[in-house]
Amino acid sequence: MDNREVILDIQDLHARFHTQDGVVHAVNGITYQVHAGETLGIVGESGCGKSVSMLSVMDLLAKPPAEVQAEAILFKGEDLQHFSQAEMRKVRGSNMTMIFQDPMTSLNPVLTVGFQIKEPLKLHLGMSDEEATKRAAELLELVNIPEAENRLSDFPHQFSGGMRQRAMVAIALACNPTLLIADEPTTALDVTIQAQLVELVKGIQAKLGMALIWITHDLGVVAGLAERVIVMYAGFVVEDAQIDELYGNPLHPYTLALLKSLPRLDQRKEEALATIEGLPPSLLERPQSCPFEPRCEFAKPKCKESNPLLEAVGPDHKIACWVDIKTGELR
């Protein structure tokens, strides 16, 4: 068990979108904790609710169409649901920050990079322009941008994709956050640039000690980065385990199938890749069954009748499944 202080405690979080086609159930009651200094990976395919759950926590969804409900969203012991807009704004960008997938659209193209790094420094820390400029140059240096001082007056289009994402990291780190949320930050980047960014964030985390949530669909990136991994499917957490446990001893059929369907650079091809037949379910309906049941090779009649809850099956290992995949029988 992790003895570190719990800094983010999400309990039974739901997020829905009211659309013309009906209600989209994007997140359907997820519960997990993040500890101080921990690196948590959240893995899942598109539409599994991994980004929406974080946007709900940050209160960044437009309501309507979105609707967020939770028993509690505790950040350092305080429930964010009771925060006013003004209070939320103080948390966002200072204590809890986020970097997004696309560095091209998350920076403002008509403002200089320097301006955008200085903004949180002035707003949250009350720095003067001079102090902020000095600190902004330090931050750019921290994220390995050469000639940092001169680059402050550059506009985002003068930066390459990798540099833009590093500038985003600099903005996110400006106020020494307790928690940094990275939402697929390397998806738009090439593999050598991805490696640069991962090493950079790892190094900074070791130096500054903030907690990190890394959202991705890539089980490879998470393997070299996270301490603990949460696997999501159709708005549910289906597995939550320590990193070595998750890769070495996956217990949810979806996690197992996902790992088997990946080709690996370090392995010779032996046979065809294992596939997960079918498609993820539509989020417009909320059936009583387990959401993975139609695609699951271990499915039993019980899986059709009710959806399993996330339960501990070992120390630091939880799954939401009725079946013991080792025996193929109900647990």
Residue 263 within binding range of other proteins, rule CB under 8 A:
yes
Among 86, 268, 288, 315, interactor with other proteins by CB under 8 A: 268
Query: Residue 39, interface with other proteins (CB under 8 A)?
Result: no
Closest of 94, 70, 99 to residue 82, by C-alpha: 70
Of the two residues 12 and 199, which places its CB atom closer to other proteins in the complex?
199
Tokens representing 73?
A: 């969203």
DSSP string, 158-190: GS-HHHHHHHHHHHHHTT--SEEEEESTTTTS-
Q: Report, in Å, the least distance between residue 71 CB and other proteins.
A: 31
Backbone angles phi, psi at 248, to 5 degrees: -85, -25
Residue range at the interface with other proteins (CB under 8 A); choices 1-9, 11-19, 54-62, 242-250: 242-250
Q: Total binding residues for other proteins by CB under 8 A?
A: 44
Among 64, 126, 248, 301, binds other proteins (CB under 8 A): 248
Taking each continuous run of H as one helix and of E as one strand, the counts in the chain are 12, 15
In whole angstroms, the minimum distance from the beta carbon of 80 to other proteins comes to 31
CB 237 within 8 A of CB 231: yes
Find the largest Cα–Cα distance for the chain.
Answer: 67
Per-position x/- string for 167-206, each x denoting binding to other proteins as judged by CB under 8 A, each - no binding: -----------------------xxxxxxx--x-------
Q: Is 257 in the site for other proteins (CB under 8 A)?
A: yes
Nearer to other proteins, 137 or 243 (CB): 243
Q: Which listed residue (30, 91, 179, 221) binds other proteins by CB under 8 A?
A: 221
Instruction: Choose which of 223, 249, 300, 313 interacts with other proteins (CB under 8 A).
Output: 223
Q: How far apart are CA 331 and CA 325, in angstroms?
A: 9
Provide the token pair at 64. 């309507």
Beta bridge mates, 61? none
The tokens for 4 are 């570190």
Among 5, 78, 87, 244, binds other proteins (CB under 8 A): 244
| Distance in angstroms (rounded) separating the CA atoms of residues 173 and 75 | 18
Query: Which residues sit at the interface with other proteins, rule CB under 8 A?
Result: 45-46, 160-163, 190-196, 199, 217-221, 223-224, 243-244, 247-248, 257-259, 261-266, 268-269, 272-277, 279-280
